[in-house]
Amino acid sequence: MKAGFCTTDISLPVGYNISGGYVRNLSTRAFDPLKIRAAVFSDGKLTTAIAAVDSCGIEKQLIDEALEEVKKCTGITFDSYIISATHVHTGGHLRHGQEEQINACKEYLSDDIYALMDPESLPVPDSPYYDYSRSQLATALIEAYMRMEEADISTGKGEDAARVFNRRIKMKNGRTYTHGGKGNPDKVDYAGPIDPEVNVLGAWRKDGSLIGCIINYACHGTCMCGTPGSHGDWFQYADDVIKKLMGEKVGVVIMNGACGDLTQVDNFSPRHDFGERVAKELGGRIGAEAYKVLLGAYPRPDMTMEAASADVPIEKRHPSPAHFEEAVEKLRKGDPKVDEDAMFARTTIMAEVMYKKEPVSMQNVTAIRIGEAVFVSNQNEIFTEIGLKMKKESPFLYNFVCSLANGHCVYVPTLSAFDMETGGGYETRINPGRLDIHAGDILADKGIELMRSFTPVEPEKVDCPPRKPWSYGTNPPQID
């Protein structure tokens, strides 16, 4: 096996669009670097790429263009890849989705309704930054490929549950709210699980030094929300810990897991859950746990790879005629820049337009086995319960569930979140591109199917002949 790692910088200039919101938000500070972290592996038969981009989401177009740039410059074509967003809400905006939706509205809406949409308030990619990020992604992939060297592969996992919480809360009225409110006496319990697993794949030189590692953990990148600028959130601090302990030249790739309903916010604690201190705590804990896993690693030289991918058609959700008319009326009465009802009314209208334009969404699911580790990706912010289902039904011990990969899409809740009596939360709203309510199970089943298509990995053969008991240890007790 060969492995190579590379990190490139995509720090956001002041005045550019920040990702992670429904309305335009321009950066006024650059607090911390934003990065693209990439790794490439080859077993002589397959060459695969794993990468994570510091943004709330990246579109398939950017990934396709970067891969084409890689091919044009070097001739490299990857047999399979998982290129994801870390889901940092203080990164640069790398999706043209809102622009496409507004342009479609011109075609499908009457002039008077379109005039209410206020396209100038929607976040859009800044062309120079978008182009730079695409080239930096291509650069990271090329350099990771060029830096490949002979590697032994280790896989392990730890746990950290101290700084991640399910943000969906059961209320006394029987419903579920997204963020039930600190100090609110109507809260009852968390509405869903967390996934505390910290999965770690390490690539090691024959001399025992670490080439790089891939870390997989599930939590929104929202620690730094509310700051007036760009920041790498907890991912940067996890990266820092590994480099300080294992060497500054060690490659680190951090893949976000099934994080759709997980954040650093504890709705049952009075403590403040945002800011640099919280990002350092969460990132430090994950980095330290990954370090502990690497300390106990047993690298294997005999690892191989497999890959499989499928595009799954899933129908989009869209509003009923009555719901659509209600949204139009709310938009007439409010300003989507400042009024929440008007803001969501606009997204409801866009959902209907995008359904008319293209009622079915082709959803990519990719699985890659690298040694004992299986990476399974989808394009969405899936709820944690969906990721746990894939892990439970996988035939492998080490399962890296990767969200927001190979194209950005939407929240995918569990089916129970849509229950009219007990469900709810803004993740269940009808927004542009939102998928059929059964999408979670559909995507999980496809991921499980792909993982089960891989060859089981044989246990490592260790030459340890039987030995007699230690002579000192066979003594009977003495009580006189």
pLDDT, tens digit, 9 for 90 and up, residues 125-183: 999 999 999 999 999 999 999 999 999 999 999 999 999 999 999 999 999 999 999 99
The whole-chain average pLDDT of the chain stands at 95
- Region 95-99: mean pLDDT is 84
Q: State pLDDT tens for residues 401-435.
A: 999 999 987 999 999 999 999 999 999 999 999 99
Lookup result for tokens 């997980």: 262
Which class for 309: exposed (0-12), middle (13-18), buried (19 or more C-beta within 10 A)?
middle
Instruction: For residues 268 and 48, give the distance between their C-alpha atoms in angstroms, rounded to a whole number.
Output: 42
Name which of 286, 281, 284 is nearest 266 in CA terms: 281
> Residue 23 above 90 pLDDT?
no
Name which of 323, 333, 325, 306 is nearest 434 in CA terms: 323
Instruction: For residues 249 and 243, give the distance between their C-alpha atoms in angstroms, rounded to a whole number.
Output: 7
pLDDT at 97: 82
Instruction: For residues 57 and 92, give the distance between their C-alpha atoms in angstroms, rounded to a whole number.
Output: 9
All residues at 6 or more sequence positions from 135 whose CB lies less than 8 Å from its CB, including other chains: 66, 69
All residues at 6 or more sequence positions from 315 whose CB lies less than 8 Å from its CB, including other chains: 359, 360, 361, 435, 436
> Residue 461 above 90 pLDDT?
no
CA distances from 26 to 22, 86, 92, 405 (A): 13, 20, 9, 25
Q: Of the given ranges (72-76, 96-100, 198-202), which has the lowest mean pLDDT?
A: 96-100
Name which of 290, 220, 212, 216 is nearest 255 in CA terms: 216
Q: How many alpha carbons lie under 13 Å from residue 396 in its C-beta half-sphere?
A: 31
Q: Considering the entire predicted model, what is its pTM?
A: 0.95
Buried b (16+ CB within 10 A) or exposed e, 268-289: eeeeebbeeebbbbbbbbbbbb
CB 373 within 8 A of CB 201: yes
CB 187 within 8 A of CB 170: yes
Structural domain spans, the chain: 2-314+348-452
pLDDT at 407: 93
**Count of CB atoms within 10 A of residue 240's CB?**
17
Q: State pLDDT tens for residues 191-227.
A: 999 999 999 999 999 999 999 999 999 999 999 998 8
Confidence band of 345 (pLDDT split at 50, 70, 90): very high
Which class for 5: exposed (0-12), middle (13-18), buried (19 or more C-beta within 10 A)?
buried
> Residue 462 above 90 pLDDT?
no
- The share of the chain scoring above pLDDT 70, in percent, equals 100
The DSSP bridge pattern shows strands 47-53 and 80-85 to be: parallel
